[in-house]
Amino acid sequence: MRSSESKNSVNRTTSRWRPWLALVLVTGGLLLAGFRGGSTGSIALDLQPEPTPTIDRLAPPVMPEHPTQFDIGRSVYHLNCMPCHGDQGQGLTDEFRALWVEDHQNCWARGCHGGRVEDEGYTLPHTIPPVIGPTPLARFKSVDELYEYVRNTQPVQRPGALSEADYRAVTAFLWQASGYSSADDMLASSATPSQPVLGDVAIILLGSGMVITAGAVWVIRRRNRRV
């Protein structure tokens, strides 16, 4: 008789805890199901993608609070080199010229750089090569050799017009942007910000669910022993 009553008490105790235990297990299962990407530990959330902003490729680069030589060189390039050599160092391509307002797209039109007396100062070559990338800089054996070339020949209408600091900065920008250097300052300034992930939050939630589950099991076993 005593054994029958004990079994009934255990069954009643277990029945009371089953809904809570099931809830904890389901929660833990959902957290585990939310993981994607293997070792990244991030939760895949079905979020509506934000609209991609229109990038103004002719806008001056944003200077960080603590600029590196690469950052300074990028700004020097934008002010002195970009109009002819392209926003990405691709050269004076038709695609790049199309970014400008209509009356600035033909660099050889009357009143611009066509070589006539009334034109602006100097004759612009019809072919201006790219200056960023392994191929454009392949003929330079070192960054010092590139520096000497840029300082002695650029800008084409006023060679040597920039300060030594500007020449060194723009040379560092060209060299590093072309992939010839893995300097820390270059990597920090050119890295694309990654999208935020919730991996740490997921780990915390999963750990909490496991702790709750273990605690619930421990309480049930302790009550069963008392009965």
Examine the domain organization and report whether 137 and 222 are in the same domain: no
- What domain range is 135 assigned to? 69-91+128-190
Within this chain, do residues 39 and 149 fall inside the same structural domain, yes or no?
no
Q: Please say whether the beta carbons of 137 and 173 come within 8 A.
A: no
In this prediction, the residues of the chain whose per-residue pLDDT falls under 70 are: 1-48, 110-122, 182-227
222 assigned to some structural domain: yes
Residues 7 and 84 in one domain: no
What is the pTM (predicted TM-score) of this model? Answer: 0.55
* CATH number for the domain that contains residue 148: 1.10.760.10
Closest CA to 86 of 125, 134, 151, 130: 130
Size (the chain), residues: 227
- 63 exposure class (CB count in 10 Å sphere: 0-12, 13-18, 19+): exposed
CB count in 10 Å sphere of residue 207: 12
Q: Write down the pLDDT at residue 101.
A: 85
Under 8 Å between Cβ of 151 and 145: no
The confidence score (pLDDT) of residue 160 equals 93
* CA–CA separation, 20 and 28 (whole Å): 12
Q: How far apart are CA 99 and CA 107, in angstroms?
A: 13
The per-residue pLDDT for 91 is 92
What is the number of domains present in the chain? 2
Do residues 181 and 136 share a domain?
yes
- Answer yes or no: do 132 and 172 share one domain: yes
Mark whether 86 and 141 lie in a shared domain: yes
pLDDT for the residue numbered 11: 53
Q: Report the candidate in 94, 107, 86, 84 with the shortest Cα–Cα distance to residue 155.
A: 84
Residues 34 and 87 occupy one common structural domain: no
pLDDT at position 30: 56
Between CA 193 and CA 69 the distance in angstroms is: 20
Residue 38: its pLDDT value, please? Answer: 47
81 in the same domain as 25: no
Q: Taking the CA of residue 70 as centre, how many other CA atoms within 13 Å lie in the half-sphere pointing to its CB? A: 18
Q: Are 162 and 210 members of one domain?
A: no
Task: Indicate whether 49 belongs to any domain.
Answer: no
Co-location of 218 and 132 in the same domain: no
Distances (CA, A) of 7 to 4, 22, 218, 219: 5, 22, 19, 17
Confirm whether 117 is domain-assigned. Answer: no
What pLDDT does 172 receive? 95
